[in-house]
Chain A
Amino acid sequence: EAQVTQNPRYLITVTGKKLTVTCSQNMNHEYMSWYRQDPGLGLRQIYYSMNVEVTDKGDVPEGYKVSRKEKRNFPLILESPSPNQTSLYFCASSLFGGPYNSPLHFGNGTRLTVT
């Protein structure tokens, strides 16, 4: 089944403890992206990757890192999480050329709580 898989689904952690949220897609998509979704603020893009070894900042990249060593994986790293990073995170992918002409496929989300 074609899908975007994120893990974990729920994560509770403490301030400053490094964490990684994994994202993997099995559709051979070139484009991958991370979003966070917060009430009243909607979906905001954190980082995106047009292809392997190519990553760019989105609208809210501060406090996050990403890497794209393989086409299928796009992990999101929080080196020193803070409470303001408590949010619902989504990984998404699309075939090529960004999310403009081909639809985004979303994972089921990771709900992160930082205390």
Chain B
Amino acid sequence: KNQVEQSPQSLIILEGKNCTLQCNYTVSPFSNLRWYKQDTGRGPVSLTIMTFSENTKSNGRYTATLDADTKQSSLHITASQLSDSASYICVVSAGDSGTYKYIFGTGTRLKVLA
């Protein structure tokens, strides 16, 4: 069964601190993995995409890693800001030959305090 699990469920940090969010997946056939940021009541917005051959990718203060062997990904946020408060959802795309399905994790709710 295709599954995406994220940890922790929620996290509270002080502004300026770093944090790391985890994503473990069992998806086949694996196509790519994306991290999305979802503000409360809004649609998810893509932060970064990781393909099978990529280990690390950065987008500003966000750095994603992917270990395809252990089927784990992490999202590291550096020097957090109040605006980083949101849910972060790991989404794995499964499929090939033009038919893809997105499997969503339940997300990590991050709260950044001043």
A and B, one complex? no
List chain A positions with a Cβ less than 8 A from chain B.
none
List chain B positions with a Cβ less than 8 A from chain A.
none
